Amino acid sequence: MNYKVVLSMLLVAMVVLVGCGQTSSNVEIEQKESSKKNTVQVITPPVLIKDGVTQEGDQKAIEDAQKFVTEKSTTAEGELGMNVVEIVSIDGGKPSKYAFFQVLENRSNNELSNVEMYFTITNKLTQKVIYNNERVFLSKEDYGIVKPNEAVPFKVAIPDEEGITKGITPQDYTFEWEVTNADIK
């Protein structure tokens, strides 16, 4: 009889523990779902579409950008963020063979177009400044309107003198940027 009481108590304890575990699991699911509501969608700007089709290399880079923004972005709500996703090759290779594939992330509550920004990009290994306060302009015609919780990709050419190889990544560079002007709606 004593062993039945112990077995019953063990059974009750297991039910309680399993029940507690399920509550914790529900909280995780709710947190994952609520974070999905705040995801930023990477859009395909008109400049990356030729004859109604996004080019294969650009399509892959856009998919990589979406994954990067979803998993690694630290841009807070109410802010603009810039993320350098990867280095991509440029079709035709003129004036450069490679470019930084970046996204401007709009977590503000405003629509943006005609965005003007300035970049300074430095090679961490050589300390060479490859762009010093260089202007980048994302026109409404080429990049569209970036709505809240959207990100627009763009490329910044890498000078051939950088000698880009497969082992070089955006982490080998320091990026400083500032948005200086934009049409805000």
23 occurs within a structural domain: no
Please tell me the distance from the alpha carbon of residue 115 to that of residue 110, in angstroms, as a whole number: 13
Question: pTM of the prediction?
Answer: 0.74
Domain containing residue 145: 41-184
Instruction: Provide the 10 A C-beta neighbour count for residue 99.
Output: 18
The whole-number pLDDT of residue 91 equals 75
pLDDT in the model for residue 1: 52
Please count the structural domains in the chain: 1
Domain at 134, CATH number = 2.60.40
Residue 7: inside a domain, yes or no? no
Digit-by-digit pLDDT tens for the chain (185 residues) are: 554 544 445 444 444 444 444 444 444 444 444 344 458 999 999 998 888 888 778 899 999 999 999 999 889 999 999 999 999 988 766 678 899 999 999 999 999 999 999 999 999 999 999 999 999 999 999 999 999 999 999 999 999 888 888 788 999 999 999 999 999 99
The answer as to whether 25 is a domain residue is no
Q: Which residues of 33-52 are buried (b: 16+ CB within 10 A; e: fewer)?
A: eeeeeeebebbebebbeeee
Residue 149 lies in a domain: yes
pLDDT on residue 50: 86
Tell me which residue has tokens 């090759």.
Answer: 89
- d(Cα 76, Cα 95) in Å, to the nearest integer? 35
* Domain presence at residue 136: yes
| 5 belongs to a structural domain | no
Q: What is the largest CA-CA distance in the chain?
A: 87
Q: What are phi and psi of 78, to 5 degrees?
A: 85, 0
User: What pLDDT was estimated at residue 29?
Assistant: 42
